[in-house]
Structure 1
């Protein structure tokens, strides 16, 4: 029981991290220090997709679900977040596309960050 709860928690953290990777630059527009957390996270997220690696959080979640049948019962997190994080039709081309999407979104956001920074300069 506790292992399944922890697995759900890992999925929620994983989903939150993905959102931070994709959109965390928007937080940096408001709070400049977030840049130091977001840039490494965005690089990691894009690298995972470009290299075709599996995120360590996936291994942790799978390990916690071991021995519980298929692992996915009917909890909200499992039903709604798992398909978003682990799409069944994920191909290598889609992974590269996701990596490019992460890079493009963040380049556009940090372009705004840079423009905002330039306006502050004397």
Structure 2
């Protein structure tokens, strides 16, 4: 039971991270200092995709599943839980582009908000 609960917690954390990756830049409109955390998350996301790295959360999920006596999966988190559910099979590139555009819009808003806060001379 303990490892099943751990697996569930890891899945929730993974979903939360991906939601933050896509939309966390908008939090920086209100709390500008959080942009550094979002830049780090976005950089990690780009690195995982570009270098085809295994995400530590995926590795942890697979480990906790095996500890719980379940079968691990060969696919990653996104392929297993998002492809075919959030977006259709074969549209991963488009989904990544949409996320990149959302992030870019959020960052443009951060820049705009920072310019508004800056005292005029």
TM-score under structure 2 normalisation? Answer: 0.76
Quick check: 1:111 aligned with 2:95? no
Aligned-partner SS, 1:66: helix
Alpha-carbon distance between aligned partners in 2 of 1:70 and 1:55, rounded to the nearest angstrom: 18
Stretches of structure 2 that go unaligned for 5 or more consecutive residues are 73-79
TM superposition shift of 1:90: 5.9
Q: Which TM-score applies when normalising by structure 1?
A: 0.75
**Aligned CA-pair RMSD:** 2.4
Question: Corresponding residue for 1:48?
Answer: 48
Would you identify which runs of 4 or more consecutive aligned residues in structure 1 move more than 4 Å? 88-91
Looking at structure 1, the residues matched to 115 and 39 of structure 2 have their Cα atoms a distance apart, in angstroms, of 19
Ranges in structure 1 where 5+ consecutive residues have no aligned partner = 72-81
Q: Secondary structure at the match of 2:37?
A: helix
**1:50–1:99 CA contact under 8 A, matched in 2:** no
Is the deviation greater in 21-30 or in 58-67? 58-67
Aligned residue in 1 for 2:97:
100
